[in-house]
Amino acid sequence: MIDVIKGLYEVALERKGTKQEGSYTCYLFEQGLDKILKKCGEECSEVIIAAKNGKNEDTANEICDLLYHLIVMMVESGISMDEVEEILEQRRQKIGNLKKFHVSDHES
Ligand SMILES: N=c1c2ncn([C@@H]3O[C@H](COP(=O)(O)OP(=O)(O)OP(=O)(O)O)[C@@H](O)[C@H]3O)c2ncn1[C@@H]1O[C@H](COP(=O)(O)O)[C@@H](O)[C@H]1O
């Protein structure tokens, strides 16, 4: 999966650098960060609704929409894949992340 995501990031970077006729990614970059963030918000809500509806195929599709728009947002904001990967890798070293207040929230 990480290779597909990295590939998508590369395509988005390319679209940011070179305008291409009929490209939805170029359209998003032209519209700017606010539009991209709006789409991230919409797609996030659609993931939640699909998950709540319990149809995994629909949810998986919405997750793909969200991932795509997050990647466009990363490119627009200048956040690299390596940056995110490094944070995920650091977190992977840590276990036992449940905080005490989470436990008491759960119990109450
Ligand atoms: N993964 C995606 C991807 N996921 C979703 N979408 C588009 O995201 C849009 C979301 O649909 P919506 O109905 O929410 O939005 P809309 O009404 O079409 O547009 P808005 O006016 O709301 O912005 C659709 O047009 C989808 O086609 C994507 N568009 C592009 N990609 C990838 O980007 C690559 C380059 O695409 P182009 O930039 O179009 O060449 C493609 O090969 C894909 O790999």
Gap from CA of 52 to ligand 1 centroid (Å):
23
pLDDT for residue 38 is more than 70: yes
Distance CA 89, CA 74 (A): 18
Spatial distance between the Cα atoms of 107 and 12, rounded to a whole number of angstroms: 45
Considering the chain, what is the average pLDDT of its residues?
Answer: 93
- Which atom from ligand 1 is nearest to the alpha carbon of 64? 4
42 alpha carbon to ligand 1 midpoint, in Å? 13
Answer whether residue 103 is part of any domain. Answer: no
User: Does residue 69's CB lie within 6 angstroms of at least one atom of ligand 1?
Assistant: no
What's the mean pLDDT in 63-91? Answer: 97
Please determine, for residue 83, whether its predicted confidence score (pLDDT) is greater than 70.
yes
CATH number at residue 71: 1.10.287.1080
Q: What was the pLDDT predicted at 1? A: 86
For every residue of the chain, which 3-state class applies, written as one string?
Answer: CHHHHHHHHHHHHHHHHCCCCCCHHHHHHHHCHHHHHHHHHHHHHHHHHHHHHCCHHHHHHHHHHHHHHHHHHHHHHCCCHHHHHHHHHHHHCCCCCCCHHHHHHHHC
Ligand 1 pocket check for 46: Cβ under 6 Å = no
Mean pLDDT, residues 5-25 = 96
**Average pLDDT of 59-80?**
98
Q: What's the total number of domains in the chain?
A: 1
Which are the contacts of 13, defined by CB distance < 8 A and separation ≥ 6?
Answer: 75
**Is 23:15 a contact under the CB 8 Å cutoff?**
yes
pLDDT at 74: 98
Is residue 101 a part of any domain in this protein? no
Q: Which residue has the higher pLDDT, 73 or 102?
A: 73
Kindly indicate the confidence band of residue 26, based on its pLDDT and cuts at 50, 70 and 90.
Answer: very high
Would you say residue 40 lies in a domain?
A: yes
Q: What integer pLDDT is reported at residue 105 of this predicted model?
A: 61
pLDDT of residue 99: 83
Domain with 42, as residue range(s), is: 2-95
